[in-house]
Structure 1
Amino acid sequence: MREKITKQTILQVSTEIVNQQGFEALTLAKVAKTLKIKTPSLYNHLSGLKELKYMLTLNALNQLKHAITSAAIGKSGERALKAIGFAQIQFMRENPGLYGLTISIPDSCDPQIAQVSSEIIAIFLRVLEPYHLREASAIHFVRGLRALSHGFSTLEKQGGFNMNIPLEKSIDLAFDTLIRGLIGALSVNTMR
């Protein structure tokens, strides 16, 4: 007996396609073929490809939020910041297609997407609270941490780290440098 088709099963199959083949490869025909149904049957569950892409984007953001929240729990300061950075990299490794949706959001004005995006930034800002940064300074730091995570993940995916030196150590050192740079800038009161 065939598994019942639901929005959740469609989302799972679509996630697999996106993570294996890229977001651009996603079509309703491909999803239907994977589910062993006719393409028009998908319209019993969603209005079309636009809705499916929206569902995937929202799912990607929620998964990323969960990953960084879980990483930060029970930690504070530098440990929490590094844990969040490593969690982002791990999310990118495990979900390369979904990750792309978290940085190139098709409809950032949508209330649900805006809400989850704000919640993700709020996690970073909460972890940064002990440093007593102005909001703009905190956002600069969040961007730096995200950029480091993105850079390491992208270079790793493209085979850019072929030396016999542990990559995790390089990542750890880069996060340390960013965090200590932040603390150093604060100590001389130059963070703006």
Structure 2
Amino acid sequence: MAVDIPGISAPQVGVVVGNPKPASRTYQAARYLAEQLTGLPPDPVVDLADFGTRLLDWTDESVAETVKTVTSLDLVVFASPTYKASVTGLLKLFLDRFPLNGLDGVVAVPLMLGGGPSHALAPELFLKPVLAELGATLPTRSLFVLEGSYSDPDAFEPWISSSRARLAAALRPAYSA
């Protein structure tokens, strides 16, 4: 069941994936989560691996356009593998492009995949605070999924069930203006 906001169309949902490997497990998990939340495939899906070193070029127009696109979305799943107990540098480089409060009005869902439960707090400790600093609305706790369970719906379902109402409530003001 998707996030249901009576009387409005589906929110615009996108995905930003900070895995250096294109079309990674993180990418697949983020797409799956976004689709489960809205009932529709996410659009856009930003696979930062496609940008490579262009993320280091502050004059790159395609990166600037992607930042602008992300700021216009209602709901964004920001996903990263756990790398050295934190998010990847690739995702950090992308997030550095946003100005202070650049994600104001965007409901963000932090998602991280990791090899073991010892990193389960990584999205709460390392990804969520950065998104909050950028002004994103974060109505739910972060989601951590074991790498080996990235394609198992049961790994997502408890979080989805407990988060659906809070996400709908956070999205509602954007449609009641």
Q: TM-score, normalised by structure 2?
A: 0.30
Q: Please identify the structure whose Cα radius of gyration is greater.
A: 1
Larger strand percent? 2
**Which structure has the higher relative contact order (CA within 8 Å, separation 6+)?**
2
Q: TM-score, normalised by structure 1?
A: 0.29
Larger helix percent? 1
